[in-house]
Every structure is written in structure tokens, then in C-alpha cells.
């Protein structure tokens, strides 16, 4: 049977009211396929653990898998770490801490990003990045019970080690259910952490809810990030760029220079021209 392009039937499905049933079918099929892939991946890990254990003449590993936000995956723009939903859904701010001497700090501030002194780590700065992700649900739209159920599911089937998860909740409407969640899943998950949801829970949160308006406003103040000096290993050019905006111990971001003369160009930060 040939494939049918969505554009040829979605409008009809919406008119006839079948779009909801189609959506449910697709969701069930997608979840079933995901479960198949996860099961297959887990079995593959166990298989190779048996093979290598036999080769090395050691016993099989007690624990081989985990669900944990570690390495580079947890800081990819647009991705949520571990078994979490993104704050704000499609729009959120991602904060990352850099060493004050990191060449990236100079390049980022030259592109318009604001570097704040870290509230927790001496000699470090905190920089926020406005993110537009493909997520369709924010953590505010997912109940505390659903978040806990996902952690239990991951623990039961695919994670030998403790699942790294922080369950965010609305203190006003869900705070009274924290004890209930712990009681419901006692013995089913090794650890659970809880965090009240909001943008002002503590200073310099790594994730903050945003909105299309706030995202667009932030994006309008930023310039394209030029990483070529970093890739080329030209640290002298990076140092010179930093000195262009700094005097003594203070650094000030200057607005782009614009002229009203006909035929003149607008000069952005980092010396690039923009029409």
C-alpha cells in the first residue's frame, strides 16, 4: 500500500472529527515502538555484558544501565535531561556556568549574552541562553503523579542503577501530594527528589520558564556567535576582542554602531557587518 502524505488527509480528518482518534492511534503506536526499542537496547547491553564477562573470565555485571542526566546530552539546547519535561515547554532559558577565563565567555559577551558572577562558584560566570525547543508539553502541564510514574517505569524496566530524577511540583496545588507520591511508589524506585516549580526558587536556576514574547525580545539583542577564533585556536584574537569592551576589571557591552547615511552599513559586535 503506498504511503499517503499527511497533507492529503489531515484536513478531511479535522472536518470529520477523526483527527482525535488518529492522534490517539499514533500516540499508542509510537509508545509501543519506543517500548520495543528500549527493550531491545536493554537486552543488547545484557548480551554484550555476558560476552565480555566470559572473555575476561569475570562474573557478569550486577548493574549495567542507568537513566541519568550526565555528560553532554543533558546540556544540549532544546533537550531535557533525564526523565524530565522542559520548563516552559517550547520556550525556556537554559543557564550554564563557565569559568571566568573560558574563551567562550569573551565570544558570548561579544555576541550580546550577559555574563553574571556565579552565585555559587568563585571565579565563574553564569550565562543564560534563550531556547526554542520542539517540546509540546511543559513541566507545568504534567502532574506530579505522571512525573513519578515515568521515573518508576524507567526504574522498573531499563535502569539497574538509581534513576536520576527531580520531580517539580506546584507548591499551591500539589504540595500536599508529595507524601502520597512517596507512599504510592515505596519500594518501586530507589530515590526521588522534589523541587517546587517556578523561576524564583533559587538564584541562577539552570532552567527557567519563558514565553514567545520573552524569547523574541531576548533574541533581538543577540548577534550571531562567531566561533571561528576558537576553532582556529586564535586565542590572541579572542583576548583582543575581550579588551575592546573592557577597561580595568569592568567590561561594558557597547550597542551596535549604526548610521543614517545612505549606503552606510550597520556594524555589529565582533566587527561584523549587517545590512
The tens place of each residue's pLDDT in the chain, 275 residues long, gives 677 777 777 778 888 888 888 888 888 898 889 889 888 988 998 899 999 989 988 888 877 877 665 444 455 555 566 667 778 788 899 898 999 888 889 889 888 999 999 999 899 999 999 988 877 788 889 999 999 998 898 888 888 877 778 899 999 999 999 999 999 998 888 888 899 998 899 999 988 889 899 999 988 889 888 888 777 776 666 666 555 555 445 455 444 333 333 333 323 333 333 33
Q: pTM value? A: 0.61
Domain residue spans of the chain? 6-56
User: Parallel, antiparallel, or unpaired: how do β-strands 193-196 and 166-169 relate?
Assistant: parallel
Angle at 187 between CA 183 and CA 192, to 5 degrees: 70
Specify the pLDDT at position 81.
61
CA 209, CA 86: separation in Å to the nearest integer?
Answer: 8
SS3 assignment, position 48:
helix
CB 225 within 8 A of CB 107: yes
At 209 the three-state DSSP class reads strand
Amino acid at each position: 500500500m503506498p504511503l499517503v502524505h499527511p497533507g492529503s488527509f489531515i484536513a478531511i480528518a479535522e472536518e470529520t472529527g477523526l483527527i482525535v482518534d488518529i492522534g490517539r492511534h499514533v500516540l499508542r503506536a509510537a509508545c509501543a515502538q519506543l517500548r520495543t526499542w528500549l527493550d531491545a537496547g536493554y537486552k543488547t547491553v545484557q548480551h554484550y555484558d555476558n560476552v565480555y564477562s566470559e572473555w575476561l573470565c569475570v562474573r557478569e555485571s550486577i548493574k549495567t544501565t542507568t537513566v541519568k542526566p550526565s555528560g553532554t546530552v543533558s546540556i544540549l539546547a532544546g533537550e531535557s535531561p533525564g526523565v524530565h519535561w522542559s520548563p516552559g515547554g517550547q520556550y525556556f532559558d537554559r543557564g550554564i556556568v563557565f569559568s571566568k577565563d573560558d574563551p567562550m565567555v569573551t565570544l558570548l559577551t561579544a555576541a550580546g549574552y550577559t555574563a553574571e558572577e556565579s552565585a555559587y562558584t568563585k571565579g565563574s560566570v553564569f550565562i543564560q541562553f534563550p531556547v526554542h525547543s520542539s517540546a509540546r508539553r511543559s513541566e507545568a502541564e504534567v502532574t506530579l503523579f505522571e512525573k513519578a510514574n515515568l521515573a518508576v517505569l524507567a526504574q522498573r524496566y531499563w535502569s539497574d542503577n538509581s534513576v536520576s530524577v527531580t520531580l517539580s511540583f506546584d507548591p499551591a496545588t500539589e504540595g500536599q501530594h508529595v507524601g502520597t507520591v512517596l507512599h504510592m511508589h515505596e519500594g518501586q524506585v530507589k530515590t526521588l527528589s522534589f523541587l517546587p516549580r517556578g523561576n524564583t526558587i533559587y538564584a541562577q536556576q539552570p532552567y527557567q520558564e519563558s514565553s514567545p514574547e520573552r524569547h523574541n525580545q531576548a533574541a533581538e539583542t543577540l548577534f550571531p556567535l562567531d566561533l571561528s577564533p576558537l576553532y582556529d585556536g586564535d586565542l590572541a584574537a579572542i583576548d583582543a576582542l575581550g579588551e575592546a569592551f573592557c577597561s580595568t576589571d569592568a567590561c561594558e557591552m557597547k550597542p551596535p554602531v549604526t548610521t543614517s547615511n545612505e549606503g552606510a552599513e550597520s556594524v555589529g559586535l565582533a566587527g561584523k557587518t549587517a545590512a
